[in-house]
Amino acid sequence: MDRVTKANIRAFRDEQSFPAGYDESKLFEHFANYCVITEAYGEEFDIHDVHSGGGNDLTIDGLAVIVNGVLVLAIEEAKDLLDTNKHLEVDFIFVQAKSGSNFSGEEMVAFKDGVKDFFSEELKLPVSEKISERRKLMSWIYENGDRFKQRNPNCEMHFVTTGSWQDDHQLMVRIERILAEVKETSLFNEVRFVPVGAKGIQESWRRSKDSVEAEFNFAKKTTLPDIDGVEESYLGVLPVSEFLKVISDDESGIKKHIFVDNVRDYQGDNSVNVEMSESLQTPEGRARFAVLNNGVTLVARGLKNVADKFTASDYQIVNGCQTSHVVYNNKDILGDDMPIPFKVIATNNEDVISAIATATNRQTQVTVEDLFALTEFQKDLENFLGSFEGKQKLHYERRSRQYAQLTGIEKVRIITKQIEIRAFAAVFLNDAHRAARYYNELKADVGKSMFRTDHKLDPYYAAAYAYYRLEYLFRNGLIPVSYKPARYHLLMTYKNLVCAPDMPAFTANKIVSYSRTLTDSLWDESKSLAGFERACRVVDEALGETPLTNDAVKTRQFTERVLAASKA
């Protein structure tokens, strides 16, 4: 293995808080999975969720199922996205990682055989729990194949080594045969087999550190007058060909992560989007689009332009999520020149960004929970988590890839909005079964039982730190990873074992000292390990003879059994 790859893996190990003596082959599997999947999925994700290497793994070391732009782990999450978007757009990504330098044709074929077995209706080989769970998800996806929009799922196979890929003729012939054989299943829209050597994995690692960036030509524009808090701003129309450079790329399609500050996800085939799509399918509708549509607003924290050539970095689409998706879905019939109303604003002022997103999204009904990411509470929470020193410090990520370019930050200390919602629900609301499901189900509680402006911030930090501490114990082998499906029940149980049963209101001053009791315990390495080991025994008692699976932990009945066992 070359020096550069070794250095990259060391940096990855430190970021992910793996111990210095962690198994090198397993570490390379995690590294390869992270680099490959980050290219297709722009959000933070738990590397253990996509790692499938080990016994009975069908020669698959990494597996990601991306549904409508979201990394999905279970059927419930896919159902939620189907209910929201009214369709399914799916990508399966498989990784085989070999820390050696050899590109073996036999191993490539074995990798292909494993992928084909994964999609087989009747599997003859024993498989791990992780592979079994993803197969259930895959089967559900194909059972709902009538909801595929525009295409069947795509399938990507990435064969990663530390060697140098030289387009060897014999291996290229093998790859062509592999592609032909997988395509013959008729299950997929596109099939890719990607050999990745040291140079390719190094480039992927470097790209994972970059903020989102796009170059586009914005010729038909006018410069807006000076605005307090805004460095520069422009208003005009952008041709579809240039607009697509902003919202999508050739590798991963539409860039889902640039819509994080947009308060609503794509709503799929609702009446407004259907009407917009139908209009775009007529010459009259395309001609009138620029005057009938409110357009798209891009906010960039970095903006450079030379004449008409713009480079936007660290940007978000804060208004126009629905328009962007409808245009992307119809891109093949729109031509290159149809104009899209387009506004570009350059600012680093968070108050201005929030005000723009809130104001522009008031054109249609937006619920309170949709706006929670833009509130003053969220900014206060970010500052509060970051106010602690040393090992007690956490980083709250209010926007996508907020910390991607910063070095020296452990990934496990980054708390996303999803993690905060789930952890708080488990720790302080005893809602571990709902936290274990897709977090959208909990968003209805935002502004009601959580994320209220009159709540103290201390319990939110305590919940986040509990999540971080448990994740640290998993990664360092101090708590068996077999307990990961019950992670939210472990968090719930830990708090109930450490803190008094009578919890003050989240608005009361007493909740500060109550939360401090929890954090004091978590900050103590020996106490926190002992506490989570006790929590594991409680989960074992609640399970009885039932195996610990992702499905088993998602019922209210299981949560009630865990609560009862923790009081025994």
- Among 510, 508, 516, 568, which residue's Cα sits nearest to residue 542? 568
Check: CB of residue 62 under 8 Å from CB of residue 97: yes
Q: Residue 269, exposed/middle/buried by CB under 10 A (0-12, 13-18, 19+)?
A: middle
CA-CA distances (angstroms) from residue 89 to 65, 407, 432, 542? 11, 34, 29, 38
Q: Could you report the per-residue pLDDT of 514-567, keeping only the tens digit for each?
A: 999 999 999 999 999 999 999 999 999 999 988 888 778 888 899 999 999 988
In the chain, the amino acid numbered 504 is: P
Task: Give the bridge partners for 254, in sequence order.
Answer: 248
Q: Tell me if 214 sits within 8 A of 315, measured CB to CB.
A: yes
Sign of the alpha-carbon dihedral angle for 286, 289, 292, 294:
positive
Q: What is the pLDDT of residues 83-113, one digit of tens each?
A: 877 889 999 999 999 988 889 889 999 999 9
Q: pLDDT at position 448, please?
A: 77
In the chain, pLDDT over 90 holds for what percent of residues? 48
pLDDT score for 211: 65
d(CA 69, CA 411): 21
390 or 350, higher pLDDT: 390
Which tens digit of pLDDT belongs to each residue from 280-327? 989 998 998 988 888 899 999 889 999 899 999 888 888 888 889 889
Amino acid at 99: S
pLDDT digits (tens, 9 = 90+) for 117-157: 999 988 888 999 889 999 999 999 999 999 997 799 999 99
pLDDT over threshold 60, residue 264: no
pLDDT given at position 364:
46
CA atoms within 13 A on the CB side of 121: 4
Token reading at 104: 């073996």
Q: Among residues 436, 435, 398, which one has the least CA distance to residue 414?
A: 398
Residue 387 to residue 542: CA distance in whole angstroms: 38
Q: Summarize the confidence of residues 43-71 as an average pLDDT.
A: 90
The predicted structure's pLDDT at residue 351: 75
* 135/181 Cα distance (integer angstroms): 20
User: Position of tokens 């996800």?
Assistant: 265
The CA dihedral of 204, 209, 215, 221, to the nearest 10 degrees, is 160
Residue 263: pLDDT over 60: no
Q: Residue 344 to residues 90, 294, 327, 328, 350: CA-CA distances in angstroms?
A: 31, 14, 18, 19, 16
The per-residue pLDDT for 40 is: 85
- State pLDDT tens for residues 358-389: 666 654 444 444 445 446 788 888 889 989 98
Q: Which of 267, 216, 327 is nearest to 87 (CA)?
A: 267
Strands 309-319, 296-306: pairing is antiparallel
Q: Which two tokens stand for residue 398?
A: 């209010």
508 conformational bin, left if phi > 0, alpha if psi -120 to 50, beta if neither? beta
pTM of the model: 0.72
Lowest mean pLDDT among 188-192, 336-340, 478-482, 552-556: 552-556
Say what the alpha-carbon torsion angle 44, 478, 129, 426 is, to the nearest 10 degrees: -60
Question: Structure tokens of 326?
Answer: 């409808």
Each residue's pLDDT tens digit, 417-436 = 888 989 999 999 998 888 88
In sequence order, the β-bridge partners of residue 158 are 95, 194
What is the C-alpha separation between 362 and 260, in angstroms, rounded?
A: 17
Query: Taking a C-beta distance cutoff of 8 angstroms, is the pair 485, 548 a contact?
Result: yes
Tell me how far CA of residue 332 lies from CA of 76, 154, 280, 327, in angstroms.
32, 18, 11, 9
DSSP letter, residue 532: H
